[in-house]
């Protein structure tokens, strides 16, 4: 199980990033990338346990289930959830504010725009404002699912 986890988790993370980046043009985006990232962490929890993440990866000395929930990685997941919610809502509100300041008619909630970014050796890449919303959704999904997995796993 541990050997499969070492091989599968990096592959899951790469697929998650690819789905996240293609989300504003094709199916994918923040939700499915967040679910895949959470599944990678679930695989780590099954193979190594929650204590491995706290003690070995993050270098924290957390021993009891209550410490995991109050001061450990679960508190970090709740913070990630809140930050993602603020980012997702803020990206929608930013369109309204931009519309009020720079256009005559205003823009509706969640209006988006895009531009092209030229990267050396890669060429042109479309950069859409919807990526901010997708990042917020990603953080909400990862924060919520990992909070649930960690709390259930700590008990």
Return mean pLDDT, the chain.
82
Residue 91, domain extent: 2-154
Q: Please count the CA atoms within 13 angstroms of the CA of 81 that sit on its side-chain side.
A: 14
Query: Using one digit for the tens of pLDDT, what is the confidence trace for 20-40?
Result: 888 766 666 889 999 999 999
Element (H, E) at 83: helix 73-102
* Nearest-angstrom CA–CA distance, 11 and 24: 22
pTM (predicted TM-score): 0.82
Residues 6 or more apart from 3 whose CB is under 8 A from it?
A: none
The confidence score (pLDDT) of residue 51 equals 76
Q: Determine the pLDDT at residue 6.
A: 92
So what's the pLDDT on residue 114? 76
What per-residue confidence (pLDDT) applies to 12?
A: 96
The pLDDT, as a whole number, for residue 85 is 95
Q: Which residues of the chain have pLDDT under 70?
A: 24-28, 58, 62-71, 104-107, 154-155
Total number of domains in the chain: 1
pLDDT of amino acid 60: 73
């Amino acid at each position: 199980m541990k050997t499969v986890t070492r091989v599968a988790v990096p592959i899951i993370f790469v697929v998650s990033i690819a789905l996240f980046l293609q989300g504003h043009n094709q199916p994918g985006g923040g939700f499915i990338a967040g679910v895949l990232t959470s599944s990678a962490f679930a695989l780590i929890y099954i193979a190594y346990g929650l204590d491995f993440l706290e003690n070995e990866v993050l270098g924290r000395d957390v021993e009891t289930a209550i410490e995991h929930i109050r001061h450990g990685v679960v508190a970090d997941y709740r913070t990630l959830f809140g930050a993602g919610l603020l980012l997702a809502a803020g990206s929608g509100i930013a369109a309204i504010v931009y519309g009020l300041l720079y256009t005559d008619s205003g823009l509706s909630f969640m209006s988006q725009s895009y531009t092209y970014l030229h990267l050396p050796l890669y060429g042109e890449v479309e950069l859409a404002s919807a990526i901010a919303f997708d990042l917020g959704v990603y953080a909400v999904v990862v924060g919520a699912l990992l909070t649930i997995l960690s709390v259930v796993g700590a008990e």
